Amino acid sequence: MSYLVDEKGYYGAFGGAYIPEMLYPNVEELRQNYLSIMESEEFQEEFRQLLRDYVGRPTPLFEAQRLSEKYGARIFLKREDLCHTGAHKVNNTVGQILMAQRLGKKKIIAETGAGQHGVATATVCALMGMECIVYMGEIDMERQRPNVERMKILGAQVVPATSGSKTLKDATNEAMRHWINNPSDTHYIIGSVVGPHPYPDMVARFQAVISEEIRWQLEKQTGSQAPDYVVACVGGGSNAAGAYYHYLEDPEVKLIAVEAGGLGVDSGKSAATTRLGRSGVLHGSKTLLMQTEDGQVTEPYSISAGLDYPGIGPMHAHLFTSGRGEFLDVTDEDAMKAGIELSRLEGIIPAIESAHAFAVLDRLSLERDDVVVINLSGRGDKDLETYIKWGKY
Amino acid sequence: METQELDKNRINRLFREKGNDLLSVYYTAGFPGPEDTMEIARLLEEAGADIIEIGMPFSDPVADGPTIQASNNQALKNGMSIARLLSGLRNMREQISLPVILMGYINPVLQYGVEKFCSECEQAGVDGLILPDLPMAEYLQEYKQIFDNHGLKNVFLITPQTSEERIRQIDDNTDGFIYMVSSAATTGAKKGFSDEQLEYFERIRSMQLQNPLLIGFGISDHSTYSKANEYARGAIIGSAFIRLLSETEDKERDIKKFIKEIKGRS
């Protein structure tokens, strides 16, 4: 079984391009060109150079001794938190802005949840001198204020999404509407492995640099390119897609996806899509989706804005239903505790999104010589206020 | 044989029998009140509309502007759903004879079950469907047969950016009408048409498609309606009518007045 996208844009039963005709020309233009652009030597050269000199790649693969001691395995942290702008999101925005330039686009729009993708987009727009509009849910703007200000400092316009739950889903709706109204000169930089084909595949390919590096870094440190586990948090799923990418076809490597359980999967306040969702269509793809019996999309909840999304990328929906990936969920409380634990044991304050991935370590029945790679997708600076409010440290 | 088939569907009959200046009116089911849907359809028929387009509300209507979004939200709050709508339309054909089209996003239809949905649409006397986020390829492969079995016309949208090749493909794969989106935009009124839009209307008209064209998006008054009718068989009005519904205190009087003003009959 393949876990990559097929020629029709599907991952098993999931994916496709369920978009109104108004978006068809843009998405089709991208579909026809993205692979040849990405694979051209000239593109790769500029992309690689920016990842190295601007983003700061390769990011380290750090063996976390005290965490390893505690959980009884060899635990490595892929330090995406050390990327410029503080999270893995910038890998994709660097790639997509180069794509937008080659498609002759002049303006950039983006949606953002936690603000990390918005900041990463505003950053590359400043770098390339392109106009940037970021849609962000009104509620997310409140809980991620520092990132709102960062985007503004970088010269982006931040537009509040005031419909629905006023979070990531609604910001995505507004960005799509903007694109419908401005089809010819604007590129939409989607921040996760969601949206109509070819976005999930394109974003996964840009993020695949994460597992590309893990392979050679791990070989240097352990003698093998393949760990026993790769663990990552999943909202839409871009950091997980990047961390899994080069291990998808290697069944020896267990892929662990950690979703946001919120106040608990049965509490009605959760974003654990694989537990609560079923097949449906949102934002251009068929995927697992939290919805009512009538097919109305329900409002998710998580303490972490970056995981507060009612769907997951179609690639992950396929990993879940095929059994290739193991999906776990973690409550707000356990994620916060794991964040504090990482801070105390390793001197690293993680983003609350990433903290979810650390909260499953005691559920993995690890053995002493197991090699575990956790994708530390972002740093916790943006979450200080949430940590302070939570207060149990 | 073919003529008989054509005659069976009210959309085909309308375009065969009536001339130009057709007016299709969109409104959201369950808006403004939960029980208003059939009454509004009746009043539209009495007032002289030619096609009735009933929106099935969705939580995330990405192709719609603020006016229709708000009506979707209100309708969902009022408890509207596909099940409730179809049960409300069950005796529709005892009350109205105009072609009726249901418009909505694909997800609620998928959850309801496409076969069940189409079968109940047929029983109610629905003539066509507009599902803007159902891609043509998926429609042809998975659903066309089901739609056809239940006598439902699938209405495709085209926009100023749609390529000629794709327009021809759409024209070959439908036999109701083509919904011509007047500009690169979500639904909602703009002020008049630009020269660029008129050039686009002309470009499409000169393609001499098999299917009749209706122009929608940005039709808000008599002047945009009659301009659209210079290039197409008719026009579709949505947001402006939703605004009227949210303001009116006398539906019967105001819907009559509204249609009369749009059509420009005195």
Interface of A with B in 118-177 (CB under 8 A): 163-164, 169, 173, 176-177
Which range, of A316-320, B128-132, B184-188, averages the lowest pLDDT?
B184-188
pLDDT for A144 equals: 86
Asked if A293's CB is within 8 angstroms of B157's CB, the reply is no
Name the residue among B107, B162, B186 with its Cβ closest to that of A181. Answer: B186
| Chain B environment of A160 (Cβ under 8 Å) | none
Question: Cβ-count burial of A104 within 10 angstroms (0-12 exposed, 13-18 middle, 19+ buried)?
Answer: exposed
Q: Please tell me the predicted confidence (pLDDT) of residue B164.
A: 96
A116 touches A351 (CB < 8 A): yes
Model ipTM value: 0.94
Tell whether the model's pLDDT for residue A290 goes beyond 70: yes
Q: How far does A173 lie from chain B, in Å, by closest CA?
A: 6
Pick the residue of A296, A297, A298 with the most B CBs within 10 A to test the interface with B by mutation: A296
Are A314 and A287 spatial neighbours (Cβ–Cβ below 8 Å)?
Answer: yes
Question: What pLDDT is attached to residue B2?
Answer: 47
Reference B158, options B223, B94, B103, B213; nearest CA is: B213
- pLDDT tens readout for residues A6-63: 999 999 999 999 999 999 999 999 999 999 999 999 999 999 999 999 999 999 999 9
CA distance B114 to A59: 48
Question: What does the CA dihedral B89, B53, B245, B72 come to, rounded to 10 degrees?
Answer: 80
Helices A89-102 and A41-50: angle between axes, nearest 10 degrees: 140
B residues 12..51 contacting A (CB < 8 A): none
Contact A59, A374 (CB under 8 A): no
| Contact in structure between A81 and A379 (CB atoms under 8 Å) | yes
Would you call B184 and A22 a contact, using CB atoms and an 8 Å cutoff? Answer: yes
pLDDT of res. A114:
85
Is residue A269 annotated as part of the catalytic site, yes or no? no
Q: Taking the CB of residue B256, how many other CB atoms lie within 10 A of it?
A: 16
Q: Residue B5: its pLDDT value, please?
A: 54
Peptide bond into B32 cis (omega under 30): yes
Average pLDDT over residues A264-272: 97
Strand partners, A120: none
Q: Once rounded to an integer, what is the mean pLDDT over residues A314-337? A: 98
Q: Say which of A111, A174, A213, A341 is annotated catalytic.
A: A111
Mark whether A29 is an active-site residue: no
Residue B266: is its pLDDT beyond 60? Answer: no
How does residue A346 score in pLDDT terms, banded at 50, 70 and 90? very high
Three-state DSSP state, A24: helix
Sheet holding A61-63, edge to edge: A61-63, A74-79, A371-376, A229-233, A254-262, A325-331
Residue B265 has pLDDT above 80, yes or no: no
d(CA B159, CA B181): 5
**Which among A199, A182, A189 has a CA at the least distance from the CA of A34?**
A199
Give percent above pLDDT 90 in chain A. 93
**Using a CB-CB distance cutoff of 8 angstroms, which residues of chain B are in contact with residue A178?**
none
pLDDT at A171 over 50: yes
- pLDDT one-digit tens code per residue, A195-234: 999 999 999 999 999 999 999 999 999 999 999 999 999 9
- Whether the pTM exceeds 0.90: the reply is yes
φ and ψ of B163, to 5 deg: -70, 155
Based on the residue annotation, tell me whether A63 is a catalytic residue of this protein.
no
Q: What is the pLDDT of residues B181-230, one digit of tens each?
A: 999 888 876 778 999 999 999 999 999 999 999 999 999 999 999 999 99
CA distance A256 to chain B (A): 29
Amino acid at the residue A101: Q
Average pLDDT (A362-381) is: 97
Residues of B (142-161) whose Cβ lies below 8 Å from A: 156-159, 161
Helices (H), chain A: 24-39, 41-50, 65-71, 89-102, 116-128, 138-143, 145-153, 168-181, 199-207, 209-222, 238-244, 273-276, 314-322, 332-346, 352-358, 384-390
The kind and range of the H/E element at B215 are: strand B213-216
| pLDDT above 70 for A362 | yes
CA atoms within 13 Å, Cβ hemisphere of A380: 21
| β-bridge pairing B51-56 and B100-104 | parallel
The pLDDT tens digits for A132-152 are 999 999 989 988 888 999 999
CA distance A306 to A43: 29
- Token pair, residue B119, equals 């079968």
Q: How many beta-carbon pairs under 8 angstroms link A with B?
A: 106
Contact assignment for A24 to B162 by CB distance below 8 Å? yes
Stretch A255-265: mean pLDDT:
98
Cβ–Cβ below 8 Å for A163 and B166:
no
Average pLDDT over chain A reads 96
Average pLDDT, chain B: 94
Q: What six digits make up the tokens of B187?
A: 């639904």
Q: What is the mean pLDDT of residues A231-249?
A: 97
Structural domains in chain A? 21-50+89-203 (3.40.50.1100), 56-86+208-390 (3.40.50.1100)
Nearest CA in chain B to A166: B60
Close Cβ partners of A266 (under 8 Å, ≥ 6 residues apart): none
- Rounded Cα gap, residues B78 and B80, in angstroms: 6
Chain A contact for B111 (CB, 8 A cutoff)? yes
Q: What residues form DSSP beta bridges with A74?
A: A371
Instruction: Give the amino acid at B120.
Output: E
Q: What are the helix and strand counts (H, E) for chain A? A: 16, 14
Main-chain dihedrals φ then ψ at residue B93, nearest 5 degrees: -75, -10
Apex A63 CA angle, A57 and A69, nearest 5: 160
Of A183-197, B4-18, B34-48, the poorest mean pLDDT is in B4-18
Q: Which residues of B touch A25 (CB under 8 A)?
A: 159, 161-163
Nearest CA-CA partner of B132 in A187, A189, A177, A5:
A177
pLDDT single digits (tens) B93-122: 999 999 999 999 999 999 999 999 999 999
* pLDDT band at A377; cut points 50, 70, 90: very high
Which whole number is the average pLDDT over B238-244? 96
